[in-house]
Structure 1
Amino acid sequence: MAKVIDILSKLSLPEEGWQNSIVRTRFLQAGIRNKNAPLYYYAVKTLLTFVLPVVVFLFLRFTQPKLPFILLLLFVLLTAAAGYYLPEIVMSFITKKRIERMRNSLPDMLELMVVCTESGMSIDAAIARISQEMARTNPDLAQEFYLSGLEMRAGATRIEALRNLALRTSLEELHDLVSMLIQAEKFGTSMAESLRVQSEVMRTKRIQRAEELAAKIPVKLVLPLGLFIFPTLLIVMLGPAIIQLIDVLKHK
């Protein structure tokens, strides 16, 4: 099975050096760190792109022998296109949901970091502590901060670790946080105060996102109201009157 997966993945796997390219970054942003995950991903992509259209072709050829060849070819091409883009769509969906979960929990994690730094802990120690405290409420973000702590303990600088964190999470708020920490370290300003300001900004943005979603609800309700609720109400209210009118017209 491993040999088959290796052969299939090589048909669509990018050229050498993909481990350090945007392909590897996409898997990290989706939270997939298994070293064999890209091989499985591209093997499935190859199967869906080449094998599935052949299966569809044979199925339609034997079950619908009178189907025109042009239409049959169109079905095969559509199946191949869908098979090629389906894994990418699934990957994008997983990444988007993960980023959304981390974005919603980031203000809470920053507030914990403010509490830790104001109590006298360093940024490195605060990152290690909040990665433990947030492991249950948001395991995705806690794991990313834990990896940043491991990087710093392995010898990477704080800025490099935080930049890698922002790259793995693909969060604009974390990019802003890294820039703020760089400026605070460069000019010698208080880390706790800088983190508090950034936490307030992120909390305000979260409230604004919630208000934006609430403002979109009436617009989203227009379609179901017009298609399902209003016709039903009309039938309930006008139905008896229409039946009585039909009976009166019949008797005349």
Structure 2
Amino acid sequence: MFQEVSSFAQKVTDPANVAAVVIAAASFITLVTIAQPLFSGDKLASRMRSVSTDRDEMRRKHRALLARESAASGLRMQDKGPWKNVVQKLNLKTLLADPNVESKLLQAGLRGPTASSVFYFCRFALPIIFFFAAFLYMFIAGVELKSNQKLLAGMVACAFGFYLPNLVVGNMASKRQKSIMKAFPDALDLLLICVEAGISIEAAFAKVGEEIGSSSIELAEELGLTNAELAYLQDRRVAYENLAKRTTHPGVKAVTIALTQAERYGTPLGAALRVMAKENREMRMTEAEKKAAALPAQLTVPMIVFFLPVLFIVILTPAYVRWQHMNQTNSETVATANAKAVKR
């Protein structure tokens, strides 16, 4: 028994046997390592399919939620006004065609089919209304003008009515852009915080829209619309481009480009957002400094017209009153002296 154990120990500790066991184990591990990818399949592809499936499911749920909210609140606008029939029967969209109307209306925050119909209807009706209103005013006020002068005044009123819708829409777009520019740096900081916290871009847009609504309703609306487009559109790049077109803000355009590159190439979004947030804050500060530097020149005319006359009145009125009082006193003194001289 002792001899058998000793013989087994010698065989186990024999260098040749140990080397054979090590070589066999190494060969087996090598074969398993090489063959494992062939039998396990492509894990990356399966993970990508899983992520794509999850995204499609989230998009489907978001679409259903938006559809329920739209049905409940009546957000799906329908063009049912009387102007629709006028625009369609007279084919005003072709006669008064303007290729930039849709973009102008979107920049002014006017969306849906009703906005374009009302715009073309006003462009058709206002010149007629202003033309007859000018003649009615001249008739009631009794303005004495020649016939050609009255016709010229009516044509000027007609032209003003034709361009009035463009002026109103342009003014609305300008005010909307100023509101977006004022609140966008803060929104970008919030978006950076959400992205660095690991929140998806859809949830980040929704969160930023909720928080920024107290500062700028216009920017909150644009972010909400972009979030809806991200859920509906197959190409997310189109949603980002639409946001840049609606706002016409260089900072927003830079952010959309960064989002598009991150979506396409997988570039880090946090660093780009941090740089753009700093640039937008500096841009806002530059605009404020520019306005402050322009104030002295802008206040020159109002100060000359309104402030200096009041200042002169305040300074010179007491002197004028005192001078009048002295003249009256001197007149009374002279009159008294003359009366005494006459009595003598």
TM-score range, shorter chain: 0.7 to 0.9
The aligned length equals 250
Deviations 1:89-110 (A, max 9, x none): 1111111000110111111111
Aligned with 1:206 (options 275, 284, 287) = 284
Given the superposition, is the C-alpha separation of residues 216 and 157 from structure 1 closer, same or farther in structure 2, using an over 3 Å criterion? Answer: same
Q: Which consecutive unaligned segments of at least 5 residues does structure 2 have?
A: 1-79, 335-344
Name 1:82's counterpart in structure 2: 160
Name 2:188's counterpart in structure 1: 110
Given the superposition, is the C-alpha separation of residues 39 and 217 from structure 1 closer, same or farther in structure 2, using an over 3 Å criterion? Answer: same
Alignment check: 8 A CA contact 2:93 2:120 kept: no
Aligned with 1:165 (options 243, 266, 269) = 243
Shift of residue 83 of structure 1? 0.9
Deviations 1:35-86 (A, max 9, x none): 2122222222222212321232244246527432132122212211211122
Alignment check: 8 A CA contact 1:117 1:126 kept: yes
State the distance in 1 between where 2:197 and 2:271 align: 12
Name 1:180's counterpart in structure 2: 258
Counterpart AA for 1:79: A
Q: Which consecutive unaligned segments of at least 5 residues does structure 1 have?
A: none
Aligned with 1:43 (options 105, 118, 121) = 121
* TM-score, length basis structure 2: 0.65
Matches within 5 A, 1:125-140: 125-140=203-218
> For structure 1, which segment, 67-76 or 1-10, has the greater mean C-alpha deviation from structure 2 after superposition?
1-10
Alignment check: 8 A CA contact 1:50 1:80 kept: yes
Alignment check: 8 A CA contact 2:202 2:227 kept: yes
Shift of residue 111 of structure 1? 0.7
> Is 1:57 matched up with 2:135?
yes
State the distance in 1 between where 2:91 and 2:293 align: 44
CA RMSD, aligned part only? 2.8
> Is 1:13 matched up with 2:84?
no
> Is 1:153 matched up with 2:251?
no
Three-state SS of the structure 1 residue aligned to 2:92 is coil
Counterpart AA for 2:278: E
Counterpart AA for 1:205: M
Alignment check: 8 A CA contact 1:184 1:194 kept: no
Counterpart AA for 2:92: L
